[in-house]
Amino acid sequence: MIDTRDLTKTYGKLYALDRLTMHLEPGDVYGFIGPNGAGKTTTMRILATLLNPSWGEATVCGYSIYTASKDIRRAIGYMPDFFGVYDDMKVIEYLEFFAAAYRISGPARRKKCDQVLELVELGYKRDALVTSLSRGMTQRLGLARVLLHEPQVLLLDEPASGLDPRARIEMRELLKELRSMKKTILVSSHILPELADICNKIGIIERGKLLFNGDVESAIQQVRRRHVFLVSVGVENNDKAIAFLSSHADIDRVDPLPEQETFKVTLKDSSLEGFFIPELLIQNGYKLRMFKEEEINLEHVFMEITKGITN
């Protein structure tokens, strides 16, 4: 659905986008991750045919950004980070205005507007003025607008930006609903745990360069150099167990966790598995209360792969 090859955008000597190559299959939800100024918005504007690249190629739904911009615009829904709304309009009037722009006419126009309002759970606000909406409601209205013409591809630039926790949860659930509808979605966000929850692929970009491109599990495996486990044998026995495990040849270090009844066991080699740890403890008279591998989340992956450098 989306293909780019060596996509590049320069401003003088500055590379806003540096030979970006990526591929999204139909139904992919692709989390686009990077610091401010990394090139996420530039990429989306190019894919939406609102910005010309300096060189490179990109196609959306099989259409070239150079020769078929009108076809691409019919096939996509693009929601920028910040967008203007017509404050003196009611919500339903706002949607009907854009539906008319998409050449949806007659009874079908009102029906489609009602459908997208229900999808984003704004039906109860249909007669409210747009200016009365909260930031979260405005974001959902913007998403309703780009869904009017039933696009195959959605380009969502920071859809959860500036939202409170409840509004972020509502936006996440809405994106899950769109995923279930088999939409192909390219979504950028700074709220990394939520991306891990909805995306099947991620791309990590910094200074215009794509540093990682793949599924979330592959990203985790890339940064997991050694296995780390959380263990508890009861607060009264933790110190003894720490001393006991520290002497094992395959264990690099054992660290107590402050104010917790657990300690962290780090193995020496990434090829080692930790299954011997519970067996070793039980054989030596310890009652195992907890044993699990330490989780690596998307924030940890992002911090390990990027260097914190911006254009």
* Radius of gyration from C-alpha coordinates of the chain: 24
**The pair of three-digit structure tokens given for residue 134, joined into one six-digit string:** 């909260």
Q: Which of 215, 242, 260 lies at the terminal end of a domain, its last residue?
A: 215
Whether residues 156 and 17 share a domain: the answer is yes
Sign of CA dihedral 151, 104, 159, 57: positive
Whether residues 131 and 270 share a domain: the answer is no
Cα angle vertex 265, ends 303, 269, to 5°?
75
Does residue 303 belong to any structural domain of this protein? no
Q: How far, in Å, CA of 198 to CA of 51, rounded?
A: 28
Does residue 308 belong to any structural domain of this protein? no
Whether residues 142 and 17 share a domain: the answer is yes
Alpha helices, DSSP H, located in 120-226: 135-147, 165-180, 192-198, 216-223
Q: Which of 156, 181, 215 lies at the terminal end of a domain, its last residue?
A: 215
Residue 296 contacts residue 216 (beta carbons within 8 Å): no
Write the CATH number for 286.
3.30.70.100
**The pair of three-digit structure tokens given for residue 155, joined into one six-digit string:** 């380009």
Whether residues 205 and 229 share a domain: the answer is no
Residue 38 contacts residue 212 (beta carbons within 8 Å): no
Range of the domain at 235: 225-295
Write the CATH number for 28.
3.40.50.300
Q: Which of 215, 238, 269 lies at the terminal end of a domain, its last residue?
A: 215
Does residue 305 belong to any structural domain of this protein? no
Whether residues 262 and 170 share a domain: the answer is no
Whether residues 272 and 124 share a domain: the answer is no
pLDDT tens sequence for the chain (311 residues): 899 999 999 999 999 999 999 999 999 999 999 888 889 999 999 999 999 999 999 999 999 999 999 999 999 999 998 888 788 899 999 999 999 999 998 899 999 999 999 999 999 999 999 999 998 899 999 999 999 999 999 999 988 877 888 888 888 888 899 999 999 999 997 767 767 778 999 999 999 999 999 888 788 777 777 788 999 998 788 889 999 999 999 999 999 887 778 999 999 877 778 889 999 999 999 999 999 988 777 777 888 788 766 65
Whether residues 202 and 235 share a domain: the answer is no
Total domains in the fold of the chain: 2
